[in-house]
Amino acid sequence: MLSKVAVVVNDRLAMFEFGVVCEVFGLDRTADGLPAFDFRVCGAQPGKPLRSSSPGIQVTPEYGLEELRDADLVAVPAFPILSDNPFDQRVVDAVRDASDRGATVLTVCSGAFLAGAAGLLDGRKCTTHWRYVDLLAEQFPQATVDPDVLFVDEGNLITSAGTAAGIDASLHLVRRELGSSVANAIARRMVVPPQRDGGQRQFIERPVVDCDSDSLSETLHWMGEHLELPHTVESLAARSAMSTRTFARRFAAETGTTPVKWLTGQRVLLAKHLLEDTDLDLESLAHRCGFGSGALLRHHFQRVVGIAPVEYRRRFGARVS
């Protein structure tokens, strides 16, 4: 049952992510026939204002951390990931104790780091904003971090990706606990889809990697400028004045991947930009990116981004005159 919801606030609270859980769980919608939540904003020092990540805005928790003891849901919004701004240990302990007592913990964006500090990620799948997935995996090596999804449901732990993915995770939790009709009604009031498809792969930018090797750096730059051309490891190694074996080894050491995978990623990235900014048909776009055919473009785009090129253009494409 989902009745009492405690939102934990920490210094430098992210306002949008905080607003997400307030919007889903904090509004009285009983006039629409929806259940009411016992919603409480909690902090280590109730009544003391806390800074937010937005200049000039403070948040003052009305309740203390003792409210987490009998909460059904503990929601953890996002906080900046700063080495000089550790989480309040009292908050970490309270979240851990609430989880041990059976509460569900929901994190939004970088709130997953607080759950990690409480030991809740060990041995479990989780996610966070795509910018922080590598750091989360580094800090909590016993966790399995999924960089592609909007949220991960591990029963009494739900972690969501960046910002608006907190809406998806929150509505999913409502649907799981109270049924689709309640989740759909809340989504309708919020003017958002009750359930989005896809994942956060479609939002990830893939910049060109800087290399220590000048010859390899020049080759990478040239590849990026000539994605429409056919490339082989042999031809790229010759351009870099290396043997094929040495080129492949150095390429993997510098970029963390193979030449073929790197080239495919850059071609998909170019395809994303062209889908956003042009009205090129799929065949022309595929040849511009070096895929050769629309079918090959669709195959690689779906695998890398998680949605079809046509759907990506529908979501992100600008009107082109």
Q: Are residues 116 and 237 in the same domain?
A: no
pLDDT at 157: 97
Q: Are residues 188 and 233 in the same domain?
A: no
What is the sign of the dihedral through the CA atoms of 31, 34, 40 and 41? negative
| Beta sheet of 38-42, edge-to-edge order | 38-42, 4-8, 73-76, 104-107, 157-160, 151-153
Q: What is the pLDDT of residues 269-314, one digit of tens each?
A: 899 888 888 889 999 999 999 998 999 999 999 988 888 999 888 8
Pick from 46, 82, 51: nearest CA to 65: 46
- Cα separation, 268 vs 116, in Å, equals 33
DSSP conformation letters of 211-245? -S-HHHHHHHHHHHHTTTS---HHHHHHHTTS-HH
Q: Where does the pLDDT of residue 320 fall: very low under 50, low under 70, confident under 90, or very high at 90 and above? A: very low
pLDDT at 1: 77
Is the entire prediction scored with pTM above 0.85? no
Q: What is the pLDDT of residues 68-118, one digit of tens each?
A: 999 999 999 998 876 555 789 999 999 999 999 999 999 999 999 999 999
- Cα separation, 126 vs 146, in Å, equals 6
**Single-letter residue type at 320:** V
Domain boundary residue among 202, 224, 243?
Answer: 202
Whether 140 contacts 116, CB under 8 Å: yes
- What's phi and psi for 221, nearest 5 deg? -65, -45
pLDDT at 210: 54
Q: Where does the pLDDT of residue 57 fall: very low under 50, low under 70, confident under 90, or very high at 90 and above? A: very high
What is the sign of the dihedral through the CA atoms of 235, 305, 80 and 89? negative
The residues near 179 (Cβ < 8 Å, ≥ 6 apart) are none
pLDDT at 72: 97
> Quick one: which H or E segment has residue 153?
strand 151-153
Q: Are residues 263 and 296 in the same domain?
A: yes
pLDDT at 224: 84
DSSP state at residue 54: S
Coil, helix or strand at residue 41: strand
Average pLDDT score, the chain: 88
Q: Are residues 261 and 143 in the same domain?
A: no
Q: Are residues 233 and 188 in the same domain?
A: no
Domain boundary residue among 151, 174, 202?
Answer: 202
Q: Are residues 157 and 295 in the same domain?
A: no
Q: Does a structural domain hold residue 219? A: yes
pLDDT at 86: 72
145: CATH = 3.40.50.880
Q: What is the pLDDT of residues 203-225, one digit of tens each?
A: 555 555 555 566 688 888 888 88
- Residues 26-31 have a mean pLDDT of 94
Does residue 138 have a pLDDT over 90?
Answer: yes
- Cα separation, 177 vs 166, in Å, equals 16
Q: Are residues 249 and 301 in the same domain?
A: yes
Q: How many domains does the chain have?
A: 2
Coil, helix or strand at residue 194: coil
Q: Does a structural domain hold residue 29? A: yes
Q: Are residues 85 and 222 in the same domain?
A: no
Q: Where does the pLDDT of residue 321 fall: very low under 50, low under 70, confident under 90, or very high at 90 and above? A: very low
Q: Does a structural domain hold residue 194? A: yes
Q: Does a structural domain hold residue 64? A: yes
CA 236 to chain centre: 34
Q: Are residues 218 and 135 in the same domain?
A: no
Domain boundary residue among 202, 229, 244?
Answer: 202
Q: Does a structural domain hold residue 208? A: no
The pair of three-digit structure tokens given for residue 266, joined into one six-digit string = 């850059």
Q: Are residues 173 and 236 in the same domain?
A: no
Q: Are residues 173 and 224 in the same domain?
A: no
Q: Does a structural domain hold residue 38? A: yes
pLDDT at 82: 62
In terms of residue numbers, what domain contains 311?
Answer: 214-316
Q: Is 103 exposed, middle or buried (0-12, 13-18, 19+ CB in 10 A)?
A: buried
Q: Are residues 184 and 110 in the same domain?
A: yes
How many residues comprise the chain?
321
The pair of three-digit structure tokens given for residue 143, joined into one six-digit string = 């966790």
Q: Strand 104-107 relative to strand 157-160: parallel, antiparallel, unpaired?
A: parallel
- Cα separation, 148 vs 306, in Å, equals 8
